[in-house]
Amino acid sequence: MSEKLQKVLARSGVGSRREMESWISAGRVTIDGKVAQLGDRVIPTQIVRVDGHPVKLAAEAEQICRVIAYHKPEGEICSRTDPEGRPTVFDRLPKIRGSRWVAIGRLDINTSGLLLFTTDGELANRLMHPKFEVEREYAVRVFGEVTDAMIQKLRTGVELEDGKAAFKKIKASGGEGINKWFNVTLTEGRNREVRRMWESQGAVVNRLIRVRYGDLLLPKHLPAGGYTEYALEEVNYLRKLVHMDYETESLAKPEDKDERRRRMASIKRAVRKHQIALKNPEKAPKAEKKPQADKPARPAKPAFKGKKRTRV
């Protein structure tokens, strides 16, 4: 049975459905050698290429949906590559064959916290779509005086350049001096929306952390720059949120406390090495040099077979 091209490409892990629609419109996709058009449908036996590269079309029954939580640090961008050479959120994700990680939403370069990735582009597309109203919660540190009237406006809605926006929930959570912390909840993910809402009231956000997506919290044990794969239960929770069929398999391995502790220690070491390499490329670990092809390696010295001298 044929399916819409953008849906099949998204399921195959090429990107989100929205991305695929823009790529098709830009003429980057071909079907059996012909440039594809929006609305085209495909069957598994057809040859689909993106930018000239063949794509293995994944049947819905064959694909195993995977989801990982990534603790994004400040300073990383949510793009696969960057012309300016800045680090991206994809740099440290685990490598996978026959698929790719698709980001579920974005966080700007100065925002940290929970960022989800999946191999199922259709799941990513639905979770990002406003109609499903999936909650995102942020911890926000605000610089400036915050009055009850400002908070009430943020609850009822403020006008932004791209339309009206309102926090579903807003709660004061401490702070000292002129810096105050708040926890705010949204059900959409417009560009820099949280910052722009506070700025509309004359306040400045100087720290922003996403702490929750749906009911999934930022894991406390996960260091900035680290990731962890969700088990089948969490994957199916996300699929249920957006009215998708349950997954029956998982590649996430169950682990006890000791195994998790060892894995987290390994992640922390890898994150530190990665950060050092970014700050000081010359200090990054270098690959071992192999003997040159035209110069044979020197033979090892024979072991000393005489008696050892002892100094008196």
Which of the residues are catalytic?
Answer: 108
Q: For residue 129, which of 274, 299, 244 has the smallest C-alpha distance? A: 244
Give the separation between CA 67 and CA 220, rounded to whole angstroms. 18
Three-state secondary-structure class, residue 91: coil
Q: Is the distance from CB of 138 to CB of 211 less than 8 angstroms?
A: yes
Q: Is the distance from CB of 78 to CB of 93 less than 8 angstroms?
A: no
Give the separation between CA 165 and CA 156, rounded to whole angstroms. 8
How many other CB atoms sit within 10 Å of the CB of residue 288? Answer: 5
- Which phi and psi angles does 88 have, rounded to 5°? -120, 165
Q: Is the distance from CB of 65 to CB of 87 less than 8 angstroms?
A: no
Taking phi first (over 0 means left), then psi (-120 to 50 degrees means alpha), and beta for anything else, what does residue 291 get? beta
How far from 40 is each of 11, 21, 43, CA to CA, in Å? 16, 11, 11
How many other CB atoms sit within 10 Å of the CB of residue 41? Answer: 13
In one-letter notation, the amino acid at residue 217 is L
Give the separation between CA 116 and CA 130, rounded to whole angstroms. 17
Q: Tell how many helices (H) and how many strands (E) occur in the chain.
A: 7, 17
How far from 111 is each of 53, 144, 217, CA to CA, in Å? 34, 19, 16
Q: Which two tokens stand for residue 124?
A: 């990513």
Q: Which two tokens stand for residue 13?
A: 């892990």
